Amino acid sequence: MKPIVVIGTVAFDSVKTPFGNAPEVLGGSATFFAMAAGLFTKVKLVAIVGKDFPSRYIQVLEEREVDLEGLVRSNGDTFRWSGEYEDNMNVRHTLDTQLNVLEEFKAELPSSYRKAPYVFLANINPDLQLKVLKQLEKPKLICCDTMNLWIVNQRKDLEKVLKKVHMFIISEEEAQMLTQEHNIVKSAREILKLGSFSLIIKRGGYGAILFTQKKEIFAIPAFPLENVVDPTGAGDSFAGGFMGYLASQDRLGLGYVQKAMIHGNIVASFSVEGFSVDKLRSLTPIQIRSRLREFLRITHLSSPIA
Ligand code: AMP
């Protein structure tokens, strides 16, 4: 079992879904990732929060035994994001993003983080993702995510990051935004040209597809759910389950990547059944195993895969 360093946001999210409103709840890309990956291995978090960030939210991360030595507490206001989902919850609109303390963040790693073999560059400014990479000593696996804001405003930096990563995990909407291409296979082919990474495109309620440089493709459906309450953080929870599984096995072959996708899928399916990190907080390995068995039964994927 190997540790994972994650850099990303720790945030106040205000979310509206057809199920209700959740104002100023605990969110952020690094938060969802750490709560998910922390079910499998030790997570070392790099992020910044402001003076307005309550200790009860810090406690949620402490309960999962996330290493918070790299969490900076500054005098400004915490990063805030708000979004609204349509009745078809695959469609989300960002209403507001306030970078606040993110604008002063230096992303300096504690020395105890620098040898970590697994790194997740969660959704945050690509220049900060690059800074983190420069401070690490030869990580074995670097995975990266991004979002519309950075694709539009900091594309050059994002392309520099992509030259250095092994795995790029993005949503279908972001893949379309990066390539101006609506067909997912053509879009993936274009994105793969930006580096030497493998690519996972997340398709919300429709699952996820892996595309490798060797032209392998592996597709899985999402776990069929009756009650999707809040999809916020599904992507980061997927990435957390995915990398958490790989780091717990410390193996990187294609079969392990496929198994990791299934674990990411299952963890994300729990995450969206509640607001904020509520479901991830109470999730147990037994619940994961039981839903995994159900997923294998439904999909007829054989047990050597998962
Ligand atoms: P996801 O639903 O997986 O795309 O992740 C949503 C999470 O990302 C929310 O908890 C937000 O706080 C956070 N977030 C939203 N916009 C950004 C951004 N531009 N940079 C970093 N994190 C963000």
Q: What is the pLDDT of residues 123-171, one digit of tens each?
A: 999 999 999 999 999 899 999 999 989 999 999 999 999 999 999 999 9
pLDDT in tens, 31-56: 999 999 999 999 999 999 999 999 99
Lookup result for tokens 């096995």: 249
> Which tokens sit at 166?
């092994």
Find out whether the beta carbon of 172 lies less than 6 Å from any atom of ligand 1.
no
- Indicate which atom in ligand 1 lies nearest the CA of residue 237: 3
The protein residue whose alpha carbon is closest to atom 20 in ligand 1 is 124
Q: What pLDDT shows up at residue 290?
A: 96
Contacting residues for 121 by C-beta, under 8 A, at least 6 apart: 7, 8, 129, 132, 133, 142, 143, 144, 145, 161, 165
Find out whether the beta carbon of 179 lies less than 6 Å from any atom of ligand 1.
no
Q: What pLDDT shows up at residue 90?
A: 84
pTM: 0.96
Q: How far is the CA of 83 from the centre of ligand 1 (A)?
A: 9
State whether residue 97 is helix, strand or coil: strand
Q: How far is the CA of 101 from the centre of ligand 1 (A)?
A: 15
pLDDT-based confidence at 303, cuts 50/70/90?
low
pLDDT in tens, 243-294: 999 999 999 999 999 999 999 999 999 999 999 999 999 999 999 999 999 9
Q: Is the pLDDT of residue 305 over 70?
A: no
- Indicate which atom in ligand 1 lies nearest the CA of residue 236: 3
Find out whether the beta carbon of 265 lies less than 6 Å from any atom of ligand 1.
no
Q: What pLDDT shows up at residue 297?
A: 93
Find out whether the beta carbon of 236 lies less than 6 Å from any atom of ligand 1.
yes
Beta strands in the chain (DSSP E): 4-7, 11-17, 20-27, 43-49, 67-73, 80-85, 92-98, 118-121, 141-144, 167-171, 198-202, 208-211, 217-220
